[in-house]
Structure 1
């Protein structure tokens, strides 16, 4: 843990740091202290499994400062751990993009439990991080499930070239462009590299580096940094004719403008009159609700209002149809149960009625068997009402029908609960969007109900 934490706290990389229930400088010792207390109190081995967990959270270049990124990382960690685990957040600024390293103890600070990774934790954590970023009006990774040839791609590839390629890729492109123009010597090569858009930086001892627009630290011209074929010796071999001439690369990809859908400043819509404190709370609450709605729309690809309206109406109709089918199934099951009960009561009391009939409806017999005869009459009347002139099925057929109806009811309940959840989610999201767009006067009566 100390080696891992030292990497996060490296002063050459660190731009900001924050912590919860621990001091980052001694976090490894504090984490172990909690674990030893947990083991002493519970008798369970504290060092089985993961000692701690790490979350990495990155932001596009130029979107946030180190302090803002650290604040967002702290909020993400607090909501992920629910304030029950020690953690600290290290914000690194050594790359082209600012990113967080979040470390949290796997043992709760009150020694009541241990954090266990669970199926779907990556998805849950990504959704939480996206929610926090959206609440702070920041961008999130769109279509994160896209991949190529079974391998996940970086964000620029996910967006189909909407962002600038990585700095090293741009430098390799400039080197290939310069070598394809047959430079006469190294000086001519460096001039052509600069013409291709990469600044040449001369370091101590004759070291050559390149820097492209937006890059803070220059990248050294060597194979271990840029890849095979991009070292100084490789470049010199091409210039001297000892290596094949590089082919002219394709045109550099240009970033496309990012499309923004259904984004309006919600602050303009806030009209609270209960005082500053209530207004601040309402703004934060509304902002979180709108972030949740936007995240839902992005995950479903519902960036068109008509499509959202159609899907919401369809979800409402589907839920209502399932509710009607469920009610009909329940009524049929109740009817079958009542019929079976009536048949059983009828079979049990029929001999009593036959005896009453044989006794020529004797008052003495009636006084002795009044309860059984009342049950017989009620069972016969119930059977007559339920069957309504139809033939009485056999008991085996009734049992089979009851099992089938019970299974159908169970399946319908599962489907209905999911449809009801979907309907409520869509109706709530559409309501938020209607509020955002000022369409609150167009409520659909079925959706309102």
Structure 2
């Protein structure tokens, strides 16, 4: 008969979660930021819950409501790569590209204060927030929706890259510190282990020096796992640690800036989507749906 049946809030939430997870957020907190940027309020509790514009009650992320792939635990597993995305019928709805000037659209709507999209948005936000968004778009030269979308994706990618770099540096620092400890332990317990071997691995000797023997064996095991043919000096490792620490400080500054940039543009995009999307975007799609 007419157009397709409107999606339920639950189905829209599932599609939005899938769309955000397809972008491979760095961690769960970034996932939540992305969900907020797409217009969802978030409530943390026994069950993670979301609510979007026009929805009265929050939707809980529990198996009986959204399915096993959309609980908080399942979402965390999907972010960590320990769980595959569910197979879904049909594709995920994507926001249409708006080629006309965003700035003109927004300015006209602010001046007129009319339209169902405007009225729904105004119940949650205010014109001052949209005015700030307009200034931001003007300053950044984001005068088209497709450019805003592209820049939002780029900002998210920069943040994810910075997050990965921070994790990599942290792992290297931890590995360096662990190796330093093993070298010190190995050196301190070397003579004890020589004496233990000379004693024919005596149980009595071991019981009297067990702590030192265990430390020596743990250090030797770590060296073997790392495939070390020559044990590096603690001095060289300390120099490497200091270098990594300096690199991490610089990376943290870039990471912090990337996070700030990402949050800023995602908030702007969220405001634009809620301010214009439910009205002008929907109207542009109506002719297509009427002729299906």
Superposition TM-score tier, normalisation by shorter sequence: 0.5 to 0.7
Structure 2 unaligned segments of length 5 or more: list them: 1-102, 283-292
Greater relative contact order (CA < 8 Å, ≥ 6 in sequence):
2
Partner of 2:210: 370
Structure 1 unaligned segments of length 5 or more: list them: 1-258, 273-278, 443-449
Partner of 1:331: 171
Which of 89, 95, 106 aligns to 1:262? It is 106
8 Å contact kept, 2:118–2:275: no
Partner of 1:341: 181
Higher strand proportion: 1
How many residues align? The count is: 175
1:404 and 2:248 matched: no
Partner of 1:419: 258
8 Å contact kept, 1:293–1:429: yes
1:392-432 deviation digits (Å, cap 9, x = unpaired) = 32222211111111111111111101101100110110111
Partner of 2:223: 383
Partner of 2:88: none
Partner of 2:159: 319
Give 1:234-245 correspondences, 5 Å limit: none
Q: CA deviation at 1:389?
A: 4.5
1:301 and 2:141 matched: yes
Q: CA deviation at 1:288?
A: 2.5
Q: CA deviation at 1:305?
A: 2.4
In the alignment, the residues of structure 1 paired with residue 142 and residue 219 of structure 2 have an alpha-carbon distance, to the nearest angstrom, of: 57
8 Å contact kept, 1:261–1:303: no
Q: CA deviation at 1:354?
A: 0.8
1:268-291 deviation digits (Å, cap 9, x = unpaired) = 22555xxxxxx98x36x3322212
1:350 and 2:190 matched: yes
8 Å contact kept, 1:329–1:409: yes
Runs of 4+ in 1 over 6 A off after TM superposition: 439-442
TM-score (norm. length: structure 1): 0.36
Q: CA deviation at 1:368?
A: 1.2
Relative distance call for 1:438 and 1:365 in structure 2 (3 A) is: same
Higher helix proportion: 2
Give 1:89-128 correspondences, 5 Å limit: none
Give 1:174-253 correspondences, 5 Å limit: none
In the alignment, the residues of structure 1 paired with residue 254 and residue 132 of structure 2 have an alpha-carbon distance, to the nearest angstrom, of: 24
